[in-house]
Every structure is written in structure tokens, then in C-alpha cells.
Amino acid sequence: MRRVFISGFGVVSPLGVGRDAFFAGLREGRVAIRRVDGEPGFAGLGAKVAAPCAGFDPGAFLPPRRVKRLGRASQMAVVAAKLAVEEAGLDPKKGGGAVIVGTGIGALEVLLENHASFLERGPERVSPFLIPLMMPNAPAAEISIELGIKGPSFGVATACAASTHAIGLAFHLIRQGHVPWALAGGTEAVILPIVLAAFDRMGALSRNSDPERASRPFDRERDGFVLGEGAAILVLESEENLRSRGGEPLAEIVGFGQSSDAFHITAPPEDGEGAYQAMAAALRDAGLPPDSVDYVNAHGTSTPLNDRVETAAIKRLFGPRAYEVPVSSTKSQIGHLLGAAGAAEVGAILFAFLEGLIPATVTWENRDPECDLDYVPGSPRPAKVRVALKNSFGFGGQNAALVVRTV
């Protein structure tokens, strides 16, 4: 069983492009959510805010022809992968690596545009690239093509747990000796009127029009999540591969757990059984007791049900010590990146390790009697974090958790 290290982290997020911009946003406690209801197509929606990657320009990283042939989610994924490989100093063309990328919805904007063309102008106006642009494995495939990676390449579609599943699967492929390294993470780009309308009709989105107060994980006044977009890709390597090329580790992945609620397509059970089972399985996989965990980066969506259930699961896992373990949600700053959320939030764990600061739940103000843990409110907290737990839960009742250790 090989040890598996993170050696690179590439990200396109609402806080900015690249690790430095992402870390700076976390350090400053900056909320990257803004109003979108004044933009074309968004008027009249119940949800007024979102967290777009407003400063992302794919043309700064890719040639125009390449940009045109990629959906927005694939553009973000390819750029994040290039940044991750650059940081790791890895030559992906040396062979043997894998690419595993999760997404919840995929390039929906391409389908919508082509459907409109089909209705208005006929079948001859449908793009011949529609299928390869929108298929859910496109981000993984495009990364493989861009970087010349000829090992296993596939997509993961487990809703908001997708990128955490992708990282966990890559971790196991490397640990068991199937590949020496992998690029793993997720991508999502669906800040579209129809998507906001659909989530809003479910009662899942915040209707708070104040960008600074809309995403409020674990707060008594929370009323739903804020839709974000972005991509995050990690370079994972076996210890042998990392040493042989003289690479530097950022952190070590030591455990992965997963479960299914088998309960409801969009709601978790009140007792948090599935969330608990995923966290417990990740710790068993790591060979570590709950007492070893110094920090939990929560799924923390800001929905009334998720935050209450996740809190209950954390209490069950840690027992009385749950009140001593810092728990925070990065979604208070960047919203919910759906299929990319888990990978971006592993980046927040790297921030805790490398900066000595636990990222905050910056918008938390009001205690909920059922959410009564230490949610690191306001601003990042200086701390020595050695072991962190990352939670991700998705529609379909699909749960994933990772245990990450400092080096």
C-alpha cells in the first residue's frame, strides 16, 4: 500500500485564478458572491445572487481555437489542470498517469444554446461538436488531450460529491499501485437562469439578496445555498514517484470513505447516518481515530436541513469532543461549486496546513440550537492543523469523505 501525496493544486474559483489568489481570498475572508438579477435572463428569479468566476479568461491560457471547442466547465478544468501540473513540476507526458474529474451537471449552456438554434433555425444549425462539448466525461478527456496523458481517464457524476469521489478514486488507484500519479478534482459552470430557477423551485437556494449574507452555513438565519462555479484539480503522486523526480509534497491523503443514504433523491435522513458512515469509513481507511482530527472542512451548504444533519453526524463521530473540533464551510465565501466543491475545499485544507490558518465560516453570526459547534466565525483562526477531514454530500444520497494529513 503506497503513500499518496498532493504535489500540486490548480484552481479557478470565484476568489480568483490560481492558488495564490484562492489563498489570498481565504486569508482576507473575502466573500466572492454578487448579485446577478440585473443580468440578461436572470430578472424575476427568486434567487438574486451567485458566485461566478468573473475574472476568468480562458484565452489567457489557451489558444482561441481551443477555447471555442471547449464548454466552460472544460475550459476551467483544463486551466486548473495546467496550473496544478505547473506547480507540481510534473511532466505529464512521461506516461503512466490517470485523469479523474467529477462534475454534477456538465456543459449545460452548450445544450441550451444548441436547442435554441434547433428550434429557431432548424437541425442544420446544431453544432457538430454538441455531444463532445456537453458529455460529462469531456473535462477529463480534454485534460488528457491537452496534457498528453494516456493512462486511465474518466468522469465521475455523483452530484455535489463528485470531485471528492474523484480524488478518493485516484487515491486508491495510486495506493494500490495501478498508476504512479493522477490528476483528480472537479469542475462546474452552470450559473444559468434555468439552473437557478430549478434549484429555487426545489427550495434549495437562498433568496437573500445581500451577497455578504446570502451563504450562511450553520447560521440560524440560513435559507439555502448560493450557486457558484469553478474548477479545482489536484496532482496526486505515490511517494516513490514524487521522490524519484525530486518533487515536493503539499500534503498527504491517508483515507477515503463513501456511503449512500438510500433514503431520498435530494434530502438526507435526519439522523445523518450516511454522512456519519462516510466519515467513519474514511478514518478507518486512514487507520486513525476520530481524536486525531484537528479540523473538519464541512460540506456546509447553508441549507436548513444539510447543516443540521451534518452537525448531528459530526457529533456522533466525535462524541463530546465535537465541541472542541473547529468546523468551517468554505461555501460562506465562494458559494456551492456543486461537482467542483469538494476539490476546491481540499484546497482550503491545504491553506490551513501551509498558512497555519483555519479558513473561516465568514458569514456565521447567529447560533442555531441544533448547529452549536465551533464554526470558526468571522475570520481565519491561527492553528496548527495536522489532520483534517473533508466532507461532501450529493443529491442521490451519495456521501464521500477524505482524511488529509500535513507533511
Q: Which residues are catalytic?
A: 160, 299, 336
Please give the span between the terminal C-alpha atoms of the chain, in angstroms, as a whole number: 18
153: left (phi over 0), alpha (psi -120 to 50) or beta: beta
Residue 326 grid cell: 473547529
In whole angstroms, give the CA distance from residue 2 to residue 124. 53
Strand partners, 181: 237
Half-sphere exposure at residue 213, Cβ-oriented, CA atoms within 13 angstroms: 7
Nearest alpha-carbon partner for 261 in 242, 240, 275: 275
Torsion of CA 206, 395, 69, 150, to 10 degrees: 140
In whole angstroms, give the CA distance from residue 263 to residue 1. 34
As to burial, measured by CB atoms within 10 angstroms (0-12 exposed, 13-18 middle, 19+ buried), residue 244 is exposed
In whole angstroms, give the CA distance from residue 362 to residue 357. 13
Residue 320 grid cell: 463530546
Q: Are strands 181-188 and 98-102 parallel, antiparallel or unpaired?
A: parallel
In whole angstroms, give the CA distance from residue 378 to residue 80. 29
Complete DSSP assignment for 328-391: E-THHHH-B-GGGHHHHHHHHHHHHHHHSEEPPBTT--SBBTTB-S---BSS-EE----EEEEE
Tally DSSP H helices, then E strands, for the chain.
13, 15
In whole angstroms, give the CA distance from residue 338 to residue 360. 20
| CA 134 to each of CA 69, 75, 233, 271, 396: distance values in angstroms, whole numbers, following the listed order | 11, 12, 19, 37, 21
Is residue 255 within 8 Å of residue 18, measured between CB atoms? no
- Burial code (b: 16+ CB inside 10 Å, e: under 16) for 251-261 equals bbbbbbbbbeb
